[in-house]
Amino acid sequence: MREELKRLKDEALAAIEETATAAGLQDLRVRYLGKKGALTGILRGMGTVPADERPALGQLANEARDAIEARLTDRAAALESTELDARLGAEKVDLTLPGTWLPRGSEHPMSQVTEEVKAIFTNMGFQVVDGPEVETDYYNFEALNIPKDHPARDTQDSFFINPEILLRTQTSPVQIRTMEKMTPRLPVRIITIGRVYRRDESDPTHGSVFHQLEGLVVDRGITMGDLKGTLTLMARSLFGEGVRIRLRPSYFPFTEPSAETDVSCPVCDGAGCRVCKGSGWIELGGSGMVHPRVLTAGGYDPEVVSGFAWGFGIERMTMRKYGIEDLRHLYSNDVRFLRQF
C-alpha cells in the first residue's frame, strides 16, 4: 500500500506537469483528489491494514494529498500567468502614434510678462493699482510738474479728446491719484501697469500705444540708493541673478534727480553682443526721485517724506524675454504667433 501511494503521487505530479490548460488541471483534481478519485480509492483499502500501521499510512496519504494539491495550485498560477502574457502580448499598439489631442490655449506674452512683474512686486509688498487711460490735463501734466508751455509737452506729443481731456502719455498720473487717496498714510508702495499713448510713428521698437510699468515708493528716508536696490531686485528676478542695474542722468519733469535705467545684458554680461547691439546694456526706461512738486500735488510734504518712481515699457521687456525683434508682432494677433507662448 505504501508503494501504491507513492506510485499514485508520482503519477499525479507528472500528469500535472504535463497539463497545459485550466480544464485539464480540474480533471486531474477530480481524478486524484475527488470523492471518487484515486487517493480516496486507496484509502478505502485502509481497513485491511494492521491497526498499528494505520497512523503512519494515514500520514503518508495526507502528504501525498498535500503535495498534489500544492502542485495543482502552482501549476494553475503558472498557467494563468502564461495565458495573461499571451493575451497582453496580442494587445500590442504602435507606441509612436501621437497622444490623444487635448486643447491647449495660450495667454498673450504681454500678459505673461505682466503677471511675472506683478508677482515680483507684490511679493515685495507692493500693491497693484489702476487708473484711467483717458485722463485730465491736470493729472497727466499739471500735477506732474509739466505746466502749459513746458517743453516736455512737445516730447510727449499727445492725443486729445478736447483741450482738457486726453489719452494719458504715461502711467504717472496714477502716482498722483494714488497719493491723493493714501495721504497721509505711509509707506506708499505701488505699481500700475497699463496702456499709454503718444503720437510716435510706428516702427520695430515704437508704437503710438504701448504698455508701461510704473512704480512708486514714498516714505520717510527713501533714497536714490533704495531706487537702485529695488530695480536691481526686479531685474534679477526677471532676467537672472547676475544682472546689474545702471542709472544714467536724464531728465523727466516729475523726477529729480532723474535717470535712464539700463540693465546689463543677460546674454553677454555687459561684454557686448547682438542682443544688446554691442553696448552691453539694455534700456528699461526712466526712473528717479519723485520731484518735490509732485509729492506736494499728491498731498505729501516733501520736507518730511521722499520717494522714487520708475516707468518701464512692458513691450520692451517682453521682446527682451522672448527675443522678439519687432514690436508689431505683439499686436499682430496672428494665431501662429500666439500659439508659441
Partner 1 sequence: MPMLVSYQWLNELVPVGDIAPDELASRLTMAGVTVEKVVPADQGVRGVVVGEVKAIEKHPQADKLWVTTVDVAAADGRPLTIVTGADNLTVGCRVPVAVHGSRLPGGRKIERSKLRGVASEGMLCAWTELIKGEGHDEDEGILILWADAPLGVDVVPLLGLDDHVLELDLTVNYASHCQSMLGVAREVAAVLDRPYQPPRVYVNQEGVKRAVDLVKIEVPDPDLCPAYAARVVTDIRLGPSPDWLRRRLQRAGIRPINNIVDITNYVMVEYGQPLHAFNYDQVADSRVIVRRARPGEKLVTLDGVERELDPEMLCITDPAKVLGLAGVMGGLNSEVTGATRNILLESAYFTGSGIRRTSRALGLRSEASARFEKGLDPNGNVPAVDRAAMLIEEMKAGVVAPGVAEFRVKPFLPVNIRLRPERVNSLLGTRLSAVDMARYLKRLGFETDGVADGRKHFTVTVPTRRPDVSEEVDLVEEVARLYGYDEIATTLPQGAMTSGGQPVLEDWRVSARRVLAGAGLNEILTDSRQTPKAHGASRWPAPLPISPAEAAAIPGGIPIANPMTVEESVLRSSLVPKMLEVMAYNTNRRQTDIGVFEINRVYWAKQWPLTELPVEPLMLCIGAVGRFAPKTWNRPAEEGDFFYLKGLLERLADGLGLRAPRLAPSNLETLHPARQAAIVADLGGESGKNENGGKNAAGAPAVSSDADMTPIGWLGEVHPAVAKAYELPGRPLILELNFERFVTLSEPRTYRALPPFPQVERDLALVVGDDVPAEKVAEAITAAGGKLLRSVRLFDRYAGAPVPVGQVSLAYSLVYQADRTLTDTEVNAAHEKILAALEKKFGAKLRG
Subset of 254-293 contacting Zn ion (CB under 5 A):
265, 267-268, 273, 275-276
**Least CB distance to partner 1 at residue 188 (A):** 9
Residue 37-76 contact track with Zn ion, rule CB under 5 A, x = bound: ----------------------------------------
| C-alpha to C-alpha distance for 277 and 280, rounded to whole angstroms | 8
What separation in angstroms does the CA of 314 have from each of 33, 171, 194, 214, 232? 85, 12, 9, 10, 17
Among 174, 230, 311, 320, binds partner 1 (CB under 8 A): 230
User: What residues between 250 and 269 interact with partner 1 by CB under 8 A?
Assistant: 250-251, 253, 256-260
Q: What is the 3-state secondary structure (H, E, C) of 208-222?
A: CEEEEEEEEEEECCC
331 makes contact with partner 1 (CB under 8 A): yes
| C-alpha to C-alpha distance for 261 and 232, rounded to whole angstroms | 10
**Least CB distance to Zn ion at residue 90 (A):** 59
| C-alpha to C-alpha distance for 207 and 87, rounded to whole angstroms | 65
Residue partners of 179: CB distance under 8 A and separation at least 6: 188, 216, 218, 295, 297, 298, 299, 300
| C-alpha to C-alpha distance for 54 and 58, rounded to whole angstroms | 6
**Least CB distance to partner 1 at residue 257 (A):** 4
111 makes contact with partner 1 (CB under 8 A): yes
Smallest Cα–Cα separation from 204: which of 310, 339, 332? 332
**Least CB distance to partner 1 at residue 287 (A):** 10
**Least CB distance to Zn ion at residue 233 (A):** 21
Residue 128-157 contact track with partner 1, rule CB under 8 A, x = bound: xxx-xxxxx------------x-xx-xx--
By C-beta, is 205 or 208 nearer to Zn ion? 205
Q: Are 28 and 39 in contact (CB under 8 A)?
A: no
- Residue 65 grid coordinates: 494529498
Among 35, 36, 220, 274, binds partner 1 (CB under 8 A): 220
By C-beta, is 67 or 224 nearer to partner 1? 224
Residues of the shown chain interacting with Zn ion in the complex, contacts defined by CB under 5 A: 265, 267-268, 273, 275-276
